[in-house]
Structures are given as C-alpha cells and as structure tokens.
Amino acid sequence: MNIEKAEVLVSSPGRNFVTLRITTDDGLTGLGDATLNGRELAVAAYLTEHVVPLLLGRDAHRIEDTWQYLYRGAYWRRGPVTMAAIAAVDTALWDIKAKAAGLPLYQLLGGKSREGLMVYGHASGLDIPELFDSIREHLEEGYRAVRVQTGIPGLPSVYGVAHSKNAAAGSASGSDARYDYEPARRNAIPVEESWDTRAYLRHVPAVFEAVRNEFGPELPLLHDAHHRLTPIQAAKLGKSLEPYDLFWLEDVTPAENQAALRRVREHTTTPLAIGEVFNTVWDYRELFEEQLIDYVRSPITHAGGITALRRILDYAAIYQIKSGMHGPTDVSPVGLAAGIHLGIAIQNFGMQEYMMHSPATLEVFRTTFSFENGMLAPSEAPGLGIEYDDEAAAGYAYASAYLPVNRLLDGSMHDW
Ligand code: CS2
Ligand code: MG
C-alpha cells in the first residue's frame, strides 16, 4: 500500500484551513489537519515543497518510520510549522491504516476506555448579565462545563469575549459569529488590542464569585489567561480563584520558561493547564517531571500528530497529568476528530475543548462524530470518519487573517 498522491488543500470555509490528503495506490485516502492559525501558508509550503516529494512511493503502513524520517531527517527539528506538517502526515496515515483495517481509528489505539469525552464550551460576556446569558445558552445546548471569560472595566475589548452579539451576528466571515473575539480581518494587518494586567487581576475573582453564586458549586468552570501574566501575577490569580474551584486555569504565563510554573505552583492549588502553543514533548519535560501542571493542552494538529501526542500523554500519565486537548475552531474538524479518537482510547483523558465549527466549515468537512449530553464520541465509520468535500471547498478561497496583537496602555507590545 504505497502513497501515490499527497495533496495540500487550502480552503477558507469561515476561516482558513490547511488539510493534507494522502491517497494510496489501492485507492484509500487519509486526511490530516495542518492548520496553523495566521501562518497557514507557511505550513502549506513546507508540505508542498519539502514533504510531499518525500512521501510519494513510501509504504503508507509505515507510520512510525515516516514520522521519524520527517522529524530526524529534516535536521531542523521542532517548531510549529514543522510539527504541524508532520502532524498532518501522521494523522492521514492513521486514517488510512484504520480504513484499511475497516475499523474506526480508536480501535487501533487500544479501543474505548470511556463512552464519550467530556467537553467545555466558551461562555463569554462583556459584563456579568451577558456572561450569565452565554452560560445559560451553553447549558441549553448540552454543555456540562464552560470556560468563562469577561470584559474588563476600562478595556475596550478583551481576549475571549465576543465584541457584541449584534456585531457578531453580522461578522464579515458570516460564521464563527459567537466567537468573533479573535477579530481576524481578512487581507489586513492584525487588529491591535490593549491590555492592563492589574485591572484584569482586580476584576476576575469577582466574576467567578458571581458565577458560582448563580450557577452553584457543581458546574466545572475553566479560565484562560492567554499567556499574559508574570509568574507572581499568575500565582496571585490562582490563589484568588481557589474559592471558586476551577477545573483548570490555562496558559497563565508564556511558558517558554518552564520554570515559571514552579513559582506559580508554589503558591496555588488551582489546577493548571498549558501547552496549546507547544509542539513537542520537550516543551513539557520539566513540567511533567516536577508535576507543575495538571492538563496538557496540545492538540494532535500542533504536537506532531497522533503518534507524538500519544507519547506525550503516556509520559504525562506517569505523573497523573491528563489530556486537555485544544479544540478552538482553528483546529479543523479533521484535527478535532483525531483528538476524539485518541481521547476515547487513552486512560488519562481529562477534558476536551469544543467550540463547534461553523455551518460553512461543516459543509467542507463532513463529520460523523456526535455531541450528546455534553460528550463528544467518534462514530463507527472506518478511519477518522471525516470526508473532505472538494466542490464545497472550491467556493471558499483563502484570504489572509491574523490574530490580534496586544499592547499595554503605554503602547508597548505585550504577549497575545
Ligand atoms: C484559545 C484559542 O481555545 C483557546 O484556548 O487560546 O482561542 C487560541 O487563541 C487560538 O486557537 C489561536 O489560534
Ligand atoms: Mg487557550
């Protein structure tokens, strides 16, 4: 079963996606997600110029060897572009292997360890009443856990908060409307936002107090600090949120410096999640061995594929650290489906992020997984259970779109 064709598919149904489709000489196809938000074409070029020519004629069954060939063989290891490209190849090959076996992918990963994956959605509001409405809407949709983000008094816009319901409904892309808090204008330079950490730290505990008073003690609540704090600020936030019993507090510091988490951990028992921008096990080594975090945020798409994330999570399991796979709408349905298959199979599953893709995205990526009672579950279709509709994709041409950048009130650049 040799690889005959590998196509790099770039489309923009609501937002930009890069998908790799591998076809074997016996006619099986496999899909892999290679989407790197705001840097999509770098991965597309990496695949087209440097990976596809190496794949043609290779045995599609040799997943491990292909992974090692692309990782070790490149000489230039790691990095988000390289690892997203490797992830796409790896995922597509797993999809093919499972189709060849006539089994849903999770069966090849050891079979089911659970019936479904507990997920959380993104509730947000500019103020508390709007936030409460958003939490209620999520509960009505079946979510049994929510991430909570709110506006900060004095800041015109804040990460994680849709600008306004009306603006969102009329958003230019016509999709992902409720989640337009990462305002990516098409064919334009990034939006600039401003940030004030002290105002944020003053406001957030009161928000969680209000949410607990309204929704009670049981609902799992999460929060994302989006890499914006220093270690001591992060420690203070974790400590101040302890009474509200968060499921996790995410990305408190920019964790290139893994040791920063040591400071945070010394001061708080709020569970910590990190890693959506990590790309290999090396980004986690200190965090695992010193037990500085509780959840691994890497998705398959950005961590080198199913092969690599499985290894990362097995390593995490030794330390009772669990999965918390990234699942925003820029992880394509292919990347999400791969995560569902892995999540259902591993022992140390924690929580899956699930924002729901837009109708336009789902027109191109035909999914078969289900979302019921707050849980995601794979279908019994062989492979990943995703089909890519070329005809639908042709109607959605790529147009550049960037995440915002973030400046402090004095105008200096800050972490996004
Ligand atoms: C976020 C993402 O889902 C999350 O936790 O941090 O929305 C993130 O900002 C984007 O996926 C970046 O592409
Ligand atoms: Mg995040």
pLDDT at residue 175, as a whole number:
43
pLDDT at residue 167, as a whole number:
40
Residue 10 has pLDDT above 70, yes or no: yes
Q: Are residues 68 and 122 in the same domain?
A: no
pLDDT at residue 162, as a whole number:
77
Query: Which protein residue's CA is at the shortest distance from atom 12 of ligand 1?
Result: 37
CATH code at position 353: 3.20.20.120
For residue 223, being part of any structural domain is answered with yes
All residues with CB under 5 Å from ion ligand 2: 224, 276
* Cα–ligand 1 centroid distance for 328 (angstroms): 6
**Which alpha helices (H) appear in 141-196, and where do they start and end?**
165-169
If you write DSSP's letter for every residue of 9-62 in order, what string do you get? Answer: EEE-SSS-EEEEEEEETTS-EEEEE---TT-HHHHHHIIIIIIHHHHTTSBTT-
CA–CA separation, 332 and 360 (whole Å):
12
71, 106, 159, 284: the active-site residue: 159
For residue 54, being part of any structural domain is answered with yes
138, 223, 226, 326: the active-site residue: 226
Range of the domain at 280: 117-382
* 106 pLDDT tier (thresholds 50, 70, 90): very high
CA–CA separation, 291 and 5 (whole Å):
43
* Cα–ligand 1 centroid distance for 62 (angstroms): 32
For residue 357, being part of any structural domain is answered with yes
Q: Are residues 230 and 335 in the same domain?
A: yes
pLDDT at residue 158, as a whole number:
87
Q: Are residues 32 and 122 in the same domain?
A: no
Query: Which protein residue's CA is at the shortest distance from atom 8 of ligand 1?
Result: 328
Last residue of a domain, one of 103, 126, 151: 103
∠ CA 123-124-127 to the nearest 5 degrees?
140
Residue 11 has pLDDT above 50, yes or no: yes
**Range name among 66-80, 115-129, 168-182, 399-413 with the lowest pLDDT average:** 168-182
**Range name among 175-184, 188-197, 244-253 with the lowest pLDDT average:** 175-184
pLDDT at residue 65, as a whole number:
98
Known catalytic membership, residue 120? no
Q: Are residues 137 and 14 in the same domain?
A: no
Q: Are residues 38 and 79 in the same domain?
A: yes
Q: Percent of the chain at pLDDT above 70? A: 95
For residue 392, being part of any structural domain is answered with no
State pLDDT tens for residues 36-64. 999 999 999 999 999 999 999 999 999 99
State pLDDT tens for residues 286-332. 999 999 999 999 999 999 999 999 999 999 999 999 999 999 999 99
Residue 179 has pLDDT above 80, yes or no: no
Q: Is 205 exposed, middle or buried (0-12, 13-18, 19+ CB in 10 A)?
A: middle
Residue 178 has pLDDT above 60, yes or no: no
Q: Are residues 130 and 217 in the same domain?
A: yes
For residue 29, being part of any structural domain is answered with yes
Q: Are residues 185 and 277 in the same domain?
A: yes
Residue to probe by mutation, ligand 1, list 35, 120, 224, most atoms within 8 Å of CB:
224
Query: Which protein residue's CA is at the shortest distance from atom 13 of ligand 1?
Result: 37
* 89 pLDDT tier (thresholds 50, 70, 90): very high
Can you tell me whether residue 405 is helix, strand or coil?
strand
Ligand nearest to the Cα of 327, by number: 1
Residue 90 has pLDDT above 50, yes or no: yes
* Cα–ligand 1 centroid distance for 160 (angstroms): 9
Q: Are residues 146 and 187 in the same domain?
A: yes
> Would residue 102 be called left, alpha or beta, if left means φ above 0 and alpha means ψ between -120 and 50 degrees?
left
Q: Is 184 exposed, middle or buried (0-12, 13-18, 19+ CB in 10 A)?
A: buried
Q: Which atom of ligand 1 is nearest to the CA of 160?
A: 7
Q: Are residues 81 and 210 in the same domain?
A: no
State pLDDT tens for residues 149-171. 999 999 988 888 976 554 443 33
Report the pocket of ligand 1 as residue ranges, CB < 6 Å: 37, 182, 224, 226, 276, 326, 328, 330, 353, 403
Q: What does the pLDDT average to over 127-142?
A: 97
Beta strands in 186-289 (DSSP E): 192-195, 221-224, 248-250, 272-274
Query: Which protein residue's CA is at the shortest distance from atom 2 of ligand 1?
Result: 328
CATH code at position 88: 3.30.390.10
Q: What is the mean pLDDT of the chain?
A: 95
Q: What does the pLDDT average to over 238-257?
A: 97
pLDDT at residue 168, as a whole number:
40
Query: Which protein residue's CA is at the shortest distance from atom 6 of ligand 1?
Result: 226
CA–CA separation, 22 and 28 (whole Å):
8
* Cα–ligand 2 centroid distance for 149 (angstroms): 11
Query: Which protein residue's CA is at the shortest distance from atom 3 of ligand 1?
Result: 328
Expressed in angstroms, the distance from the first to the final Cα of the chain is 44
Q: Are residues 156 and 92 in the same domain?
A: no
Known catalytic membership, residue 75? no
Q: Are residues 56 and 204 in the same domain?
A: no
Q: Are residues 161 and 256 in the same domain?
A: yes
Given a contact cutoff of 8 angstroms between Cβ atoms, the answer to whether 295 and 307 are in contact is: no
Residue 173 has pLDDT above 60, yes or no: no
Q: Which atom of ligand 1 is nearest to the CA of 226?
A: 6
For residue 399, being part of any structural domain is answered with no
Residue to probe by mutation, ligand 1, list 40, 302, 330, most atoms within 8 Å of CB:
330
> How many distinct structural domains can be found in the chain?
2
